[in-house]
Structure 1
């Protein structure tokens, strides 16, 4: 695994047999790593250069990319913000012909002050029943809306719908056996050993909710099930990736956490997600120190 800071991971399998992982990092231009086994990763470059990086928020950082294959293009949705810039931040789009890039920035999709929703970061794209959708949000509600067929614009006159309360960010939705599972993070992400980030989940029969916990209480009222929480060795486990299924049918999730022994940055973590009674769980409800590797 990678032992330097690589938070907010997003992953995709390329046509060349490699998995490609994208993340926030101190590098300004979104680092890209690749692996054939999800365990051993190599740095292959950045999505942008200083000349090609987005600029709609001139002093902004690039955060929390979400990578997807739409048609014959690799499409990356990204957040751009300054710390605390909750009304000027926004979500943009870039495309590439190959997962390793180079990516061409297509610019801003929208900003918080344009759609009057605070802190529009952490995008997540999903296709469902032949339509394309984008979800986003950070501690001021989780929202979603429909996109155009190419995934590059908001669909005209499509409503923006709130699907979860103000406790969450880092949304990811997974469809399985007739349910939609809304994974998200609660707590503080970025305060070193004081970080309280925790990965949670709820489920719904419909993409736009209502999402509920095991008792039927709504995520709109900030109710959920805990998936991964802190341990003695790691704190702040959160902002999970897409689930990746190996050849044995096992599901794996990436996320980040802060090592108690080496608390600089937020290191990349991976755990197996198992299922029981229609709900996902991670063994021990905390980051694993040792586990069997995925099979490919």
Structure 2
């Protein structure tokens, strides 16, 4: 389960000032990781009609910061999804985790997890809406709790549409599950039944459709132990949205088999919870995720890497974070 890393030494104002003083990485033909060098774990990404990419993230479990960029490399903070006055309240002392941003039926729909430390049966998933990607978001309340849907540790939600239907997938080390949503995406569909699609090794689910396959990306290991973090991004694939998802040998993710996409290296550890994949103008696919920097291990910084496809499987060069790479083409 994603836990808290405080941003020490700097407040939000200081971080914004640091960004203002930081030269644009794209003055050169390459960028260096991290693309944001303070803690922004669990990124979720969307491209809005204004031409900006917006990323939403967990940060000190309060109000879900929002940043925007034209190129996935140079980012500016534009606010938070909630304020202390407007933040959700269905878990009164709970923190906000793992936002998932979508554009549904003409509005921005933000799913979030809410929990207290260790509250694996009282945590749950809620939803908020806004007319603009930067908000303000209006909380629409809880969709379900662990104890009402019968899935322990019900966090880390992901929304996907398929054949005109809307679905949510979620779970954290107690199985990954999926269920159909209502037409507006704000509630569970009446009478819908959950189905397990992956085993107990995973959290941070993201499903990407490419060609005939669905790719289930997830994270394994410990996310939040600083330099001891073992978080690793993994993937399996299926020809059906609800599985079975398998590794290259055909072994099922239901039994915790998978392929490793990104593991740590000499510069970063704890590489996990990837965002949605986006394609640049050159046809290259890109993915944000978080990691812990060995040079400055305070928090989980925002990373960017290209995803390449080899024999219909996603790969990141070397299966580890890049230190420096060519910039996306936008």
TM-score by shorter chain over 0.5: yes
Q: Which residue does 1:279 correspond to in 2?
A: 313
2:158 is the alignment partner of 1:151? no
Q: 1:141 deviation in Å?
A: 0.1
Match of 2:162 among 116, 124, 128: 128
Q: 1:24 deviation in Å?
A: 0.1
2:133 is the alignment partner of 1:99? yes
**Distance in 2, Cα, partners of 1:253 & 1:83:** 29
Q: 1:85 deviation in Å?
A: 1.0
What are the Cα deviations for residues 35-85 of structure 1, in whole angstroms up to 9, with x where unaligned? 001100000000011010000011111000000000110000000011211
2:329 is the alignment partner of 1:260? no
Q: What runs of 5+ residues in structure 1 fail to find an aligned partner?
A: none
2:74 is the alignment partner of 1:40? yes
**Distance in 2, Cα, partners of 1:109 & 1:145:** 12
**Distance in 2, Cα, partners of 1:136 & 1:216:** 23
Q: 1:232 deviation in Å?
A: 1.0
Q: Which residue does 1:78 correspond to in 2?
A: 112
2:326 is the alignment partner of 1:292? yes
**Distance in 2, Cα, partners of 1:147 & 1:28:** 27
Q: Which residue does 1:247 correspond to in 2?
A: 281
**Distance in 2, Cα, partners of 1:116 & 1:142:** 12
Match of 1:16 among 50, 55, 63: 50
Q: Which residue does 1:217 correspond to in 2?
A: 251
What are the Cα deviations for residues 89-139 of structure 1, in whole angstroms up to 9, with x where unaligned? 000000000000000000000000111210000010000111100000000
Higher RCO (C-alpha under 8 Å, 6+ residues apart): 2
What are the Cα deviations for residues 137-168 of structure 1, in whole angstroms up to 9, with x where unaligned? 00000000001111111011111000000000
Q: Which residue does 1:54 correspond to in 2?
A: 88
**Distance in 2, Cα, partners of 1:29 & 1:279:** 36
2:266 is the alignment partner of 1:232? yes
What are the Cα deviations for residues 161-218 of structure 1, in whole angstroms up to 9, with x where unaligned? 0000000000000000110000000000000001000000000000000000000000
Note the 1:118-197 alignment, pairs <5 A: 118-197=152-231
Q: What runs of 5+ residues in structure 2 fail to find an aligned partner?
A: 1-34
CA contact (8 A) 2:41 2:301 kept: yes
* 3-state DSSP of counterpart to 1:8: coil
Q: TM (normalized to structure 2)?
A: 0.89
Q: 1:27 deviation in Å?
A: 6.1
Q: Which residue does 1:63 correspond to in 2?
A: 97
Q: 1:227 deviation in Å?
A: 0.1
Question: What CA RMSD, in Å, does the superposition of the two structures yield over aligned residues?
Answer: 0.6
**Distance in 2, Cα, partners of 1:232 & 1:97:** 43
CA contact (8 A) 2:61 2:95 kept: no
Note the 1:109-124 alignment, pairs <5 A: 109-124=143-158
Q: TM (normalized to structure 1)?
A: 0.99
**Distance in 2, Cα, partners of 1:168 & 1:132:** 22
